[in-house]
Structure 1
Amino acid sequence: MQTPGEIRHHLNRGAVAARRDDEAGLAETADWLASATAREMLRIDYYSRQFRFEEPALGQAKDWWLTDAVPVVAALASMHQDGHLRERAVRELCGMAGAVSDRALAVRVSDHVPVIRELAEREVLRRTALEQAQQIVPLLQRIVGRGWGSEVFARYLRVLVEAHDEASVWACLRDSEDLEVRRSAFRRGFESGLLGVADAVRLLPRERDQVVRRQLIRVIAEGATPEVIVEALLRGRSAESRVLGLVKLTAAQLDPVDVERLLVDRSVLVRAWARRRWQEMGRDPVVVYAAVARSAAGSVVRARAYVGLAETGAQLDRAEIVELAQGADLPLKKIGLSLLRGKALASETSFLLREMTCDDSRVARLAGEVLSSSPQLWSVADLAVLKDSADPVLQRRGWWLHRSLGGWEQVIADLELPEAWDRLVLPMYVLPTDAQWHRISDLLGTLSLGSHQVSEIEFAAGRSV
């Protein structure tokens, strides 16, 4: 989305190019107007007429010459703040063809001047070719929420359907590059019966827009046979489709092979519903998870099996968890570290601090979470390996772990990191220990904090005079 300054810059360049008859500049402006989204086009129109600036973005009306003008010049003039110039520009646009002309006229159906609005609406309702509709409909649909011109969209759809058949119109709009138009076209297609379950099954594998995909999934789930739901949803790419397939089908309608595969799905919700259906089949998901976790399957699948065991509440041997956490296989290492939270021993502190220095940020974060969940295993002095590093990434990891102690240790950690000074949160109703206050005093003596901030720290610590 372009900023107001960028929009005014483009408009000003276009106006200069129009005055100088600069073909290259006008071609660039025409490409800009043709490629703008419907929302951007309406923003361009809005900022072209702002009165807050001494010089209008499009210059003075007397500088515009519309005789034998090309479409881009008339389009720019149609957005000028001078109503007489806009009216002349709209009359010129009525005799022009092309995307720039179509879009400029569609914008003007919301003009506050009645004669301009009526001229633009009359011409827009004449432009019923499907390629013209691709340019006009996105703008008219966005204008629906406005005052002037809000009723033109419904009128335009009626004349489009009269000029073509309804199926052709909505098929064309389903190919629109505008997401809002495309989504509403799919919704209208299913509501009117132009599209059905077979169409949804055919379109779903190639669909990339999440909103449309959700429509297709819902149609299949509500109207397809169990066999189609299994093939289109349960074995689909989308986690949402797999969940809905499990929700719509009963245990009796499901193949155990499909459900067993979904027990180790990447989606938490899919795994939860797969466990429910598996139990309804009279089977124990823990058995499956244990077998897969200790099998020769890929590390990603095994890691999901360990996650499934944790989700079922099954108890894992601590030695097995440590073996995973200390292993070289990354997916299994990550799940091992996540399962080690609250179960680490003091002897594993050095290993965990070493993991916090690794290049994989996810592993480092998980190791830090294990340490922060067991603060009794380490001291602030142990963090020197991180905080004294020349690498700012490691310094911030050390700061984060120190800060996790909370209270006055959090204040000390924030004082030690200059970029964290503005986030100081002073503890209430608790005083620092002598050792903590000594460290805070040393830091205050070397930092360039304001006197007011220093006074606040001293007062909260009960050390103010």
Structure 2
Amino acid sequence: MVNFFLRRQHPVPQPSPGTAALERVRLLVAGERSADGSALEELTAALLEVGATGSAEDSFEALRTLTERPALLLRLDAFIRREWWHPTRPTPRPTEADPVALALAALHADGRIRERAVRRMLDQPHPGTMPFLVLRTSDWVRQVRDAASAGLAVLLHGDPLLATPATVRTALLINRRRRGAFAHGQLLVPLLTGSTTALAGTLLAAPEAPVRRFALDAVAHRLGIRDLAALAERDPDRQVRARAAEAAARQAVWTDQTELLRRLARSRHAEVRVTALTGLMRTGSPQSVVAYLDDPSAQVRALAREAARRTGTDPLTHYQAAVRADEPQVGAVAGLAETGGRADVPLLSALLDNPAPQVRVQALRALRSLDVVPVPRVTALLRDDSAAVVKEAAAALVPSATRLPADLLWDMLTDPQRPAVRRAGYRLLSRRDRLTALRAAVLASGDTHPRLAAQGRTDATTRIRELTPHPWLTRSVPTLDADPAQAAELLTLAEERRTVLTEDVIQLLRDALRPVPGSR
């Protein structure tokens, strides 16, 4: 009772209509992944509601949420242009008081409305409306395009910080269009001239990798070597790391900073290591590169082998000794496969008993690359404790699939515990005769593992349709060569998968298995 009176005295505050609409915009933007018209219609209505009932801050927050997904903005542009051409549609009026209406008016099908919206955005520039202005620089109407392009150039000259990450991302997307290169070029100007360092910092810290690449390409020549090295070591995007490492290594070679190159060579990213080691080679330090003969990266190993040849070290001898160690490194096993031959097969085969799963995987890859696979020994690995080893063993045995015991493969396909074993069994059964492959696909289509079930369903449908003659195709129709008992078993199995394979596909199978008149 006390709690009841407390609730009466202190009612829970209800969100304002604008706040509720803003939250709906966030949910729609986060969940919209396709060009579905109904979702875009709902998003447009939610945006208009924010503009009509919310504050200016709510409106700009709604626009920021939208422009964080530039691809969605482009789809919304196409949708609004198509839908608002109809005269019964409400037309937002471009006013400074409602930023959402102003932004959506810039997407309207009527070029005169778009032009008025562009001029209003130029009179009251704001980072939240810049992506819409950039979008109109590629407009198909010359008057709209000229106004947006000239205005964008003037705004960026006066205040480069208007180029937010969302603005840059939008420019990168429309740069693929016929008239979309102008905005891309204008956004490069303040970065290339160095008119503001704050803009480069903002774009290099953007969450979108394409924006960081764009900024780095423009300002790499002005960044210090320590900043470049930090980007190469910490950025989550591979291309950013590679470009930053290349710029840092170039400066390090020019200034003879070998210690920084050694630091980058210890990076956990292969693209950074190979660039740093290339720099060490250019500074005349090949001996430092030889230590990377056992690197996990093939590129790094190739560079290290070149350094070994320059210093008189035999890479093959090194690898042969390295794989005999108690705990051989994965890179050493791969290096032996790259430099050795059939004479090294006993060394590689012995590694199939190594307790480290990754070493067993690499040994299987090495034997496969040398085209010398000990079938009985590798067959035993189809039941290995490691899923990666099972997968690699199946790949190595694919050329020998018809020589493997059929009972073993069917047992693998019906293994009740391990999806990796079932996938390996299915992969090998698919390489046998047509009837076996189809039966395996039908059986796998009902698997509890979603990926294997999807693969089985697709393969079964494709194989069954291949059995259907088409009067307009000249290709010969394959046959299953199934006896009556095998045909009945296959059809029964397919009937059990009716919900997966569909009735149409099962009917095609019935027709394909129906005995030909006059045959015995």
TM-score (norm 1): 0.74
1:71 maps to what in 2?
A: 99
Contiguous gaps of at least 5 residues in structure 1: none
2:499 maps to what in 1?
A: none
Provide closer, same or farther for how the CA distance between residues 305 and 28 of structure 1 changes in structure 2, counting only shifts above 3 A: same
Provide closer, same or farther for how the CA distance between residues 45 and 383 of structure 1 changes in structure 2, counting only shifts above 3 A: closer
Cα distance in 2 between the residues matched to 1:174 and 1:68: 28
Cα distance in 2 between the residues matched to 1:441 and 1:104: 63
The one-letter code sitting in structure 1 at the alignment partner of 2:76 is I
1:290 maps to what in 2?
A: 320
Does 1:399 pair with 2:426?
Answer: yes
Does 1:50 pair with 2:82?
Answer: yes
- Given that 2:352 and 2:363 are in contact with CA atoms closer than 8 Å, whether structure 1 keeps it comes out as yes
Identity of aligned residues (%): 23
Cα distance in 2 between the residues matched to 1:275 and 1:109: 52
Measure how far apart 1:413 and its partner are. 3.2
Measure how far apart 1:406 and its partner are. 4.5
Measure how far apart 1:132 and its partner are. 0.9
Measure how far apart 1:323 and its partner are. 5.4
Does 1:365 pair with 2:391?
Answer: yes
Q: Secondary structure at the match of 1:50?
A: helix
Cα distance in 1 between the residues matched to 2:283 and 2:142: 65
1:171 maps to what in 2?
A: 200
Q: Secondary structure at the match of 2:163?
A: helix
2:124 maps to what in 1?
A: 96
The one-letter code sitting in structure 2 at the alignment partner of 1:47 is F
The one-letter code sitting in structure 2 at the alignment partner of 1:35 is E
Measure how far apart 1:364 and its partner are. 1.6
- Given that 2:80 and 2:108 are in contact with CA atoms closer than 8 Å, whether structure 1 keeps it comes out as yes
Cα distance in 1 between the residues matched to 2:185 and 2:287: 50
Measure how far apart 1:380 and its partner are. 0.8
Instruction: Trace 1:63-462 onto structure 2 (pairs within 5 A).
Output: 64=92, 69-121=97-149, 123-124=151-152, 125-126=154-155, 128-134=158-164, 136-140=167-171, 142-144=173-175, 146=177, 151=182, 154=185, 166=195, 168=197, 171=200, 174-175=203-204, 177=206, 179-189=209-219, 194-195=222-223, 200-201=228-229, 203-220=231-248, 224-225=253-254, 228=258, 230-231=261-262, 234-245=265-276, 253-256=284-287, 258-260=289-291, 262-296=292-326, 299=327, 301-313=328-340, 315-316=343-344, 318=346, 324-338=351-365, 342-344=372-374, 346=376, 349=379, 351-355=380-384, 358=385, 360-375=386-401, 378-391=404-417, 393=419, 394-406=421-433, 408-418=435-445, 419=457, 420-424=459-463, 437=483, 440-446=486-492, 447-448=494-495, 450=506, 452-453=508-509
Provide closer, same or farther for how the CA distance between residues 251 and 146 of structure 1 changes in structure 2, counting only shifts above 3 A: closer
1:33 maps to what in 2?
A: 66
- Given that 1:143 and 1:150 are in contact with CA atoms closer than 8 Å, whether structure 2 keeps it comes out as yes
| RMSD after superposition | 4.5
- Given that 1:264 and 1:304 are in contact with CA atoms closer than 8 Å, whether structure 2 keeps it comes out as yes
- Given that 2:381 and 2:393 are in contact with CA atoms closer than 8 Å, whether structure 1 keeps it comes out as yes
Cα distance in 2 between the residues matched to 1:280 and 1:370: 35
How far does the alpha carbon of each residue in 1:81-109 deviate from its partner, in whole angstroms, 9 at most, with x for none? Answer: 34454444445434435322333333333
Measure how far apart 1:265 and its partner are. 0.3
Q: Secondary structure at the match of 1:253?
A: coil
TM-score (norm 2): 0.68
Contiguous gaps of at least 5 residues in structure 2: 1-31, 446-456, 468-474, 496-504
Provide closer, same or farther for how the CA distance between residues 238 and 354 of structure 1 changes in structure 2, counting only shifts above 3 A: closer
Provide closer, same or farther for how the CA distance between residues 250 and 457 of structure 1 changes in structure 2, counting only shifts above 3 A: farther
Cα distance in 2 between the residues matched to 1:119 and 1:345: 72
- Given that 1:200 and 1:220 are in contact with CA atoms closer than 8 Å, whether structure 2 keeps it comes out as yes
The one-letter code sitting in structure 1 at the alignment partner of 2:48 is A
Measure how far apart 1:306 and its partner are. 2.6
Measure how far apart 1:145 and its partner are. 5.0
2:47 maps to what in 1?
A: 14
How far does the alpha carbon of each residue in 1:21-50 deviate from its partner, in whole angstroms, 9 at most, with x for none? Answer: 25597466334235333x443333232211
- Given that 1:293 and 1:305 are in contact with CA atoms closer than 8 Å, whether structure 2 keeps it comes out as yes
Q: Secondary structure at the match of 2:81?
A: coil
Cα distance in 2 between the residues matched to 1:82 and 1:431: 60
